[in-house]
Structure 1
Amino acid sequence: MQGNVVLITGTSTGLGMHTALQLAANGYKVYATMRDFDKRYALLDAAVAQQVKLDVSVLDVSDIDTINACVDRVLAYEGKIDVLINNAGAGFVRNTEQASMEEIQKVLDTNFLGVVRCTKIVLPHMRQARSGHIINIGSVGGLVGQPFNELYCAAKFAVEGYTEALATYVTPAFNVKFTIVEPGGIRTEFRNNVFKQVNSSGGILEDAYKPLLESYIASGESRSSSYQSAEEVALLVAGVVAAENPPLRIRTSTWAEKFCEYKTQSDPTGLLQVDDVARNFGQQR
């Protein structure tokens, strides 16, 4: 797989940045993208420090024009995209009653429709090549609903269904593989940004939900000991990229596996369900 072309979104910080660096170190041609190009310097400096090469460009998953422009640029240079990693996303802690419709639309747009847009643009090229792998960075929140995260979980549940459905017919017909990576907590700016978002959208409101939200936030401290580093999860993602027969879904830690066991214990990789659906709908895998 070394030398293959990888396009990854959301690489200005955290998991996206470390995944881009890890794959570049492993010999892949990495096209790292981000919405805010002014944030590119942290990634570029890290690449110099680690003595790896990668390309950094603009891609806003909410803007189809930037996706088209970026994909066209990669294809002009490389003639192919072997791996697409849909990593860009944004957390959101706010319940349904408190969230504005603008906030709700933004959560769904970034975390779900962003995945759909990028897949829509890249998939035709993989289909024509009859080769490729689309990796969607999901969450344990895509399998298990959690307090004050219903909107974020809804978006991640959508990613799960979207990816699983594609795998039932695109994989057997065109040899394009799909994987959902499902981390638990990651010690990155992602978590910090969630709590910044709570404060910026009014903080903890004085309403019936206040004691419940305070309890939720306090419980996060006890859970934080189970959080992984972005580097640890990036190593797992790199392993998925290199796998000849990757799973449909994979949790990234023992804690994440335990947290989701009621949903996953009979079919941990998701491939049994996909195979069964494919057979039922006449799609041979």
Structure 2
Amino acid sequence: MKKNVLITGTSTGVGLESAMLFAKNNYKVYATMRNLKKSEKLKQKIQEENLDINLLPLDVTKIDSIQSAVKTIIERDGKIDVLVNNAGAGFAKTTEQATEAEIKWVTDVNYLGVVFCTQAVLPYMRKQKSGQIISVTSVGGLVGQPFNELYCGAKFAVEGFMEGLATYMSEPFNIKITCVEPGGITTEFMTSAIDKTAVDGQFATGEYAPIFEKYMAGNQKRANESEVQVYQTAIEVANVALNIAQNENPPLRIRTSQWAEDFCQLKTKADPDGLKLVKQIQDSFL
């Protein structure tokens, strides 16, 4: 019997590529997105390549939507083998200039959505004594960056949530936990992040403007001059997620490129895959 996988945020980018890649590697895929009207590209691929992909609506900011999607999968298959928490959105704006609604939104999409999707699948994985939860986080979940503090805060929260789960889910439940940590990705995600940066049609204003201009210029310079590729394609990141799903003993965390590895080195050098820390916590508390 095929393993099935629930993937969030599959209308574009890493989610779209992951849905197709998992299907091509003998998984039954439940590809979810907030708005199924954005599924035309995926529908076309399903028809062209006869892929075992089932489309479901799932809005990670709405608990009833999450529960409905999970219920549908359980009714059809009686199990969920893998959850890929991929849905997320970039956001670059100063805390001072962000609205209350924006702060809640970036937290809901990037953190609470992961929590509630995970919460929805755990009872079934626990009952079947097997499962895997893979969350696509970011180097921003390890390293805080200028104008990204709200986004990084949400991704740091995902990292802490996943790390905490990892300390007691492997035994006795055989549920594996991994954070996949990309650097920059050349997808619509980047466009979204830029869109969310603007304040009344402009980028950071007032006293923040010169700092922001320096920040953006530095980003462009690194992309142009770096010997190691800064920006990855979505399929490259999707391949990392697939490799993790196929790994009998996956790491707690993994960077998806050499650039990401180098960028996070001060945080990760002592324990690159996070498993030493998990073992230490287990020995200390359990």
Same fold (TM over 0.5): yes
The aligned residue for residue 226 of structure 2 is none
Contact in 1 for aligned 2:204/2:212 (Cα 8 Å): no
What RMSD, in angstroms, separates the aligned Cα atoms of the two structures? 1.2
Which shows bigger deviation, 163-172 or 40-49? 40-49
Aligned partner of 1:241 in structure 2 is: 245
Deviation of 1:200 after TM superposition, in Å, equals: 6.3
**Pairing partner for 1:254 from 240, 258, 270:** 258
Runs of 5+ consecutive residues of structure 1 not aligned to the other structure: none
Name 1:166's counterpart in structure 2. 165
Q: 1:223 to 1:57 in 2, by over 3 A?
A: farther
Q: What per-residue deviation string (whole Å, max 9, x for no partner) do you get for residues 79-125 of structure 1?
A: 10000000000110001111111111111111000000101110111
Are the aligned partners of 2:142 and 2:156 in contact in 1 as well (CA < 8 Å)? Answer: yes
Q: Percent identity?
A: 51
**Cα shift at 1:170:** 1.7
TM-score, normalised with respect to structure 1: 0.96
Cα shift at 1:201:
5.0
| Match status 1:80 vs 2:84 | no
Secondary structure at the aligned position of 1:190 is classed as helix
Structural mapping, 1:139-218, within 5 Å: 139-199=138-198, 201-218=200-217
Q: Give the structure 1 partner of residue 15 of structure 2.
A: 16
In the alignment of these two chains, the number of paired residues is 281
* Paired residue secondary structure (1:6): strand
**Does the CA-based 8 Å contact 2:5-2:80 persist in structure 1?**
yes
1:12-47 deviations in Å (ceiling 9; x for gaps)? 000000011000000100000000111011111123
Distance in 2, matches of 1:271 and 1:201, equals: 45
Distance 1:200 1:190 in 2: 18
| Offset at residue 262 of structure 1 (A) | 0.5
Q: Counterpart of 1:33?
A: 32
Measure the CA separation in 2 of the matches of 1:256 and 1:223.
13
The answer to whether residue 278 in structure 2 is matched with residue 274 in structure 1 is yes
Helix, strand or coil: the match of 1:174? coil
With the length of structure 2 as denominator, give the TM-score of the two structures. Answer: 0.95
